[in-house]
Amino acid sequence: MPYKLLFVCLGNICRSPAAENIMNYLIEEAGFRERIVCDSAGTSSYHIGSPPDSRMSSAALQKLQIKLRGKARQFQKSDFENFDLILAMDQENYENILYLDPTGKYRHKVRLICDFCSRHNLKEVPDPYYGGTQGFNLVIDLLVDACEGLLKHLSSQDSTL
């Protein structure tokens, strides 16, 4: 049974699909495709069914030569059961996710993605939606750092990887 990761931001068109695709790229490179599965979601319903933001896609293509795939969906309570680790992009996303778990049963599954950064000291992935190219590039850099750290963390935790 593969280990399942869910990346969550607000609208699921910028940060979380970028994280999902970057992680898939790193998983593929490490030869863990059969062992780790990724998905992404948004805490809001703003963009359900939309592809990743074209500015985010451009930044990912330019910096990493990867194409962002996926369609936006909203985070569901069932995601708590279906995923082993839920990674929020910022504190607000984190709190919105935990709001759907009032008993705290799944709290141990929810983390901030930046907890896994080793080169950056930002605690949150800033939402680049209303900014320029520089913001999208920063998101890619942060997510590469966080996803590399996450992959290292998972492989040190699980000898089956």
Report CA-CA distances (Å) from 81 to 31, 77, 85, 87, 107: 26, 8, 10, 14, 12
Dist. CA 15–CA 136, nearest whole Å: 9
Catalytic residues, which ones?
Answer: 9, 15, 127
Task: Name the nearest CA neighbour of 87 among 157, 153, 156, 161.
Answer: 153
Q: In 3-state terms, what secondary structure has residue 68?
A: coil
3-state secondary structure of 37: strand
Q: What residue has token string 């979380």?
A: 16
Q: Give the three-class secondary structure for 43.
A: coil
For residue 161, count other CB atoms closer than 10 A to its CB: 15
Distance CA 35, CA 67 (A): 22
